[in-house]
Amino acid sequence: MKKILKIIIIFSLLIMSGCWDRKELNELAILTGLAIDKEDDEYKVTAQVLNPGEIAGKAQSTRVAVSTYEATGKSVFEALRALTITSPRKLYLSHLKLVVLGEELATQGIGQSLDFLSRDHELRTDFFILISKENDASSILKILTPIDKIPTSKIFDSIESSEENWAPTKGVHLHDLIAKLSSESDNPVLTGVYVEGDIDFGGSVENVERINSPSVISLDYLGIFKEDKLVGWLNKNESKAFNYIMDNVKNTVGVEKCEGGNVTLEIYETNTEVKVVEDNGLPKITVKVESDVSIGEVRCKENILGEEKLKELAEKLDKQTREVLNEGLITAKELQTDIFGFGEQIRKQNPKLWNKVKENWNEEGFVHLDVQIESHYNIRRTGTIKESFQWKASGD
Amino acid sequence: MKKLTDWVNETKKKRENMKEKNKDPKEQNEQFNSAHSISQSLTDNLNTISKDLGGSADVIIREFELGETDQRKIGVMYTDGLADSTTVQEFVLKTLMIDIRSAHLENIDFEATTLELLEKHSLSGGQLKKVYNLKNVKQHILSGDTVLLFDGETVGLSVATKGWKQRGVEEPSSQTVVRGPKEGFTESLRTNTALIRRKIKSDNLWIEQMLIGKETQTDVAILYMKGIANDKIIKEVKKRLKKIDIDGVLESAMIEELIQDETFTLFPTLYNTERPDVAASGLLEGRIVIIVDGTPFVLLAPAVFVQFMQSSEDYYQRSDIASAIRLLRYVAFMLALLVPSAYIAVTTFHQEMLPTTLLVSLASQREGVPFPAFVEAILMEVTFEILREAGLRMPRAVGSAISIVGALVLGQAAVEAGIISNVMVIVVALTAISSFVIPSYNLGMAVRLLRFLFMLLAAAFGMYGIILGIIILVSHLTSLRSFGVPYLSPIAPSNKEGQRDSLIRLPIWALISRPRLISQKNMIRDETPAPEPNDSTKEPEKSPSGESSK
């Protein structure tokens, strides 16, 4: 009797408790992009959902690989649930790659819309957060891209590759953003994204049928925040300055003038140190940038590869870097927001001092902060050729 | 489980009662008679035997008179087909009917009986045995010997004339190797013991023999290395074999099932092999080999789990390669066990575990498939099992039909019809191939069955269920014993010496001792030093050659 009872219990486990969370693959709408805009008091959520059959299936038709659905609601969560009215399947959030926030929403403050993203169990935190510049956030998700059939994955990949190879961009994950938002000594930045060309045309298949797609999604430079509100945009040099100071640069190029043209250098290793010194009860910051570079392209009339010349070149580079970094610093100071995390550095390195200066840090402490920038370049390699063939041609 | 054994015992008791009630006094009498001693009258004896054997056509009974003058009657009996007809003809019949006339028997003591005369002077057969009752006479006849009975004598004479058609030593069909001995056991017990003797010429190799099976009277031999095998295990094996009381033993599997430690497990607790080299290496490790007449599969006890994942070729290839291949087998074991269930779990519960591109490609293949992943998997796995079974059982001539039906109709057509997704076919194929990697067929069977259990768990609880299943499986494995030896040894309980030859195989010179729990005495088996680079070529340089030659 007892044995039978045991068997019944085990089987009822299998039958009754099982499968509550079961979802077949063809019951899922795999969501890869989410755009959040603010319309009056309501959130407008746009979801980009994959159409797997068109991406990897055998029998592909002319239908598009992704579809977008829109819904509005008082909160992000409500709007997402409201999407089920239009979406054929339940949205599956785990594979989210991109969240685009509207510029309008960003200027009003992004904090409230992020809560759902970090609270929901289905979401991972490895998606990038972007700000749509000029257009609505939803329009970013409505452009078809060539090569990569999934537009969000195209954006995701461009962020990753440009971050690796191009100094002015920076991909921000949710947890980075939230850490910065919740810190009083730090302010976040987010990369901007915009549509180049006609938005309506970008949503049609014609857009990807041409060799040169008329509408493309392009990454912009960094938008800077004060607390959770967007206060301005950095230009290329300023964005570069930000990444240099934050030690985010992995590999990039720099151009320096020389006689009759310029020389382009590949910066393949940079290391930034931020040091805090107390000076008369006030913090003083030294930013020391150390870079290893190699010469990538030479368009000069004269030979610049001599030992002396290279030294000169390195000095020029040092000077240029100091200027660029200063430029970024000045912009941030003008906007009164400490995006560099100097406050955070002071708090880490000298907590007592931080306690003294933390009142109105962004508006006063940071604006009047004395920042010394030092830069040192090591030219390690000159590429696979020594002298440029142009010199001989011009010399003859 | 207890209930089942209770039930078996009850039915046995009932049957015994029935037997006793049904026993006819006449029958009892007859049985008594047949076991009765040999009577003085030859004709009576021959008649009784003929009657007892039901006048079977293959039993030849001849009666003739011996010699020219001495009118003694003699009966010759043998089974046609079991006794070698040339031997019977040359050494028994010819001797008795023709040669004996030209023999000079003058100097011989005429007081002696015919039996003694023949035994000492006449019969040139190799092995002679006296038989004292009719039961033995019949046994000898039915096992291929020729029995002589004499008029007026109560003792018969059995001449070993065994010799029947048998399969020669061939390459084993079940455990094939690329490098290694190509001979396999045959159906003949004697050939099999000879094959082992040829490998181990030690006087420590002891062979004990017994008869099992009330009707079949099957010869069963127990082989072990005296001084290496554990005496307790030898005793236990003999005890368990003696307990067997069954009408017939047709294959060693029947013995295996009757002497194994645990009935209710999917895992084999006795190892079987067709290869003499595997049996010999088992003997050297202290295992006991049980050979059953009539089957090329011999049993090795005690058996541990790692043994079933080893191939004899592991020892004939370089140790590093053998180790890598062994590890590969464990990977294949896990794949064969878990791939379908992991597929079910991941695609129905844990889609977040997959990279997006993989998820998309899986999802695209599942578009339009009408069944849930679990049903799909069960369908395909069951189909595959049916195919496999069909391939095994059907006549070889129609074998190619199965592959066509299996590969084309079920695989391709099902996918094209949109009933089954492509990935599922890959999953089933991967599982199938992996399960063939397991060197032991009966462990492979266990995996086959367990796979379905895991699929059920995965469908109900996802990854959680699979992990739960693995925990239960491992605890079951640790609880198993084979003749008292823990099934998972030398991994659990851990024994570093034993682990040198379990999941991996170290070089032969590093395999110093025998398995600890199996052998328990005379542990050191190998004292070869590790090979070192030989300096002999360099030596002449060190010491001037002129000096050394002087």
CB contact under 8 A, B373 and A153: no
Token pair of B367 as six digits = 């578009």
B216-265 tens-digit pLDDT? 889 999 999 999 999 999 999 999 999 999 999 999 999 999 999 988 89
Distance CA A121, CA A123 (A): 6
Domain's final residue, options B462, B486, B510 = B486
**Interface residue B122 vs chain A (CB under 8 A):** no
Contacts (Cβ under 8 Å, ≥6 apart) of B93: B62, B76
Residue A396 has pLDDT above 50, yes or no: no
Please check whether residue B23 lies inside any domain of the structure: no
B21 or A160, greater pLDDT: A160
- Contact predicate A362/A336, CB 8 Å: yes
- All structural domains of chain A, each given as residue ranges with its CATH number in brackets, are 25-233 (no CATH), 235-396 (3.30.300.210)
Nearest chain B Cα distance for residue A354, angstroms: 42
* Mean pLDDT within B163-175: 86
Tell whether B250 and B117 lie within a shared domain.
no
Looking at the structure, tell me whether residues B267 and B346 fall in a common domain. no
Tokens 């953003």 locate to A177
Percent of chain B with pLDDT over 90: 40
Q: Which two tokens stand for residue B25?
A: 């006094």
**Does residue B239 sit within a domain?**
yes
Look-up of token digits 């392009």: A218
pLDDT tens-digit map of B243-255: 999 999 999 999 9
| Residue B15 included in any domain | no
Query: Which H or E run contains A278?
Result: strand A261-279
Contact assignment for A22 to B356 by CB distance below 8 Å? no
Query: Which of A198-212, A262-276, B325-339, B423-437 tops mean pLDDT?
Result: B325-339
Residue A338 and residue A185 in contact, taking contact as beta carbons nearer than 8 Å = yes
What pLDDT was estimated at residue B13?
81
Please confirm whether the linkage preceding B490 is cis (ω < 30° from 0). Answer: yes
Whether residue B363 and residue A26 make contact (CB cut-off 8 A), yes or no, is yes
Tell me A184's DSSP state. Answer: T
Task: Give the closest residue to A100 by CA, choosing from A144, A152, A31, A148.
Answer: A152
Last-in-domain residue among B303, B333, B358: B303
Same domain, B101 and B240: no
User: What pLDDT shows up at residue B547?
Assistant: 46
Q: Is residue B494 part of a domain?
A: no
Domain match, B476 and B396 both: yes
Are B467 and B395 in the same domain? yes
| Tens-place pLDDT, residues A296-345 | 888 887 777 788 888 888 888 899 889 989 988 999 898 888 888 888 88
| Average pLDDT of chain B, as a whole number | 85
pLDDT tier, B443 (very low <50, low <70, confident <90, very high otherwise): very high
In terms of residues, how long is chain A?
396
Cβ B391 vs Cβ B377: under 8 Å? no
Banded pLDDT at B550 (limits 50, 70, 90):
very low
- Average pLDDT taken over every residue of chain A: 86
**Local structure of A199: helix, strand or coil:** helix
State the pLDDT confidence band at B210, using cuts at 50, 70 and 90: very high
pLDDT digits (tens, 9 = 90+) for B33-58: 445 778 888 888 888 888 888 888 88
Nearest to A47 by CA among A6, A5, A84, A3: A84
To the nearest whole Å, the CA of B325 is away from the closest chain A CA by 35
Does B290 have pLDDT greater than 90? Answer: yes
pLDDT of residue B113: 66
Residue B128: inside a domain: yes
User: B2: pLDDT confidence band, cut at 50, 70 and 90?
Assistant: low
pLDDT for the residue B454 = 95
Q: Which residues of chain A have a Cβ shorter than 8 Å from any chain B Cβ? A: 3, 13-15, 17-19, 21-26, 28, 30, 32, 50, 52-57, 92, 94-95, 97, 122, 124, 150, 153
Residue B247 lies in a domain: yes
Residues A92, B367: C-beta atoms closer than 8 Å: no
**Pairwise pLDDT comparison (A26 vs B336), residue with the higher score:** B336
In a domain, B176, yes or no: no
Range of the domain at B227: 189-303
B337 and B442 assigned to the same domain: yes
A250 vs B202: CA distance, rounded Å: 72
Using one digit for the tens of pLDDT, what is the confidence trace for A351-378?
888 888 888 888 888 888 888 999 998 8
Question: Are residue B288 and residue B325 in the same domain, yes or no?
Answer: no
Asked if B469 and B347 sit in the same domain, the reply is yes
- For B:339-378, CB contacts with A below 8 A are 347-349, 351-352, 356-357, 359-369, 372-373
Q: Which of B449, B471, B486 is the last residue of a domain?
A: B486
Cβ atoms of residues B372 and B338 within 8 Å: no
One domain for residues B373 and B294: no
Specify the number of domains making up chain B.
3
DSSP three-state, residue A337: coil
Query: Which residue in B343, B353, B364, B420 has the most chain A C-beta atoms within 10 A of its own C-beta, making it the best mutation to test that interface?
Result: B364
Q: Is the pLDDT of residue A90 over 70?
A: yes
Nearest alpha carbon to residue A125 among A188, A173, A158, A177:
A173
Whole-angstrom distance, CA of residue B47 vs CA of residue B57: 14
**Interface membership of B415 toward A (CB under 8 Å):** no
**B228 shares its domain with B124:** no
pTM score: 0.82
Q: What is the pLDDT of residue B131?
A: 86
Same domain, B379 and B289: no
Residues 430-489 of chain B whose Cβ lies under 8 A from any Cβ of chain A = 456-457, 459-462, 465
**Confidence bin at B106 (pLDDT 50/70/90):** low
Residues B289 and B409 in one domain: no
Residue B418 lies in a domain: yes
- Look up the ipTM and state it: 0.83
- What three-state secondary structure class fits B519? helix
Q: What is the pLDDT of residue A207?
A: 87
pLDDT computed for residue B65 by the predictor = 79
Please report, in angstroms and rounded to a whole number, the separation of the first and last CA atoms in chain B.
Answer: 83
Q: What integer pLDDT is reported at residue B255 of this predicted model?
A: 94
Query: In 3D, which of B48, B75, B78 has the Cα closest to residue B64?
Result: B75
Which residues of chain A does B364 touch, with a Cβ-Cβ cutoff of 8 Å?
52-57
Contact B360 A30 (CB under 8 A): yes
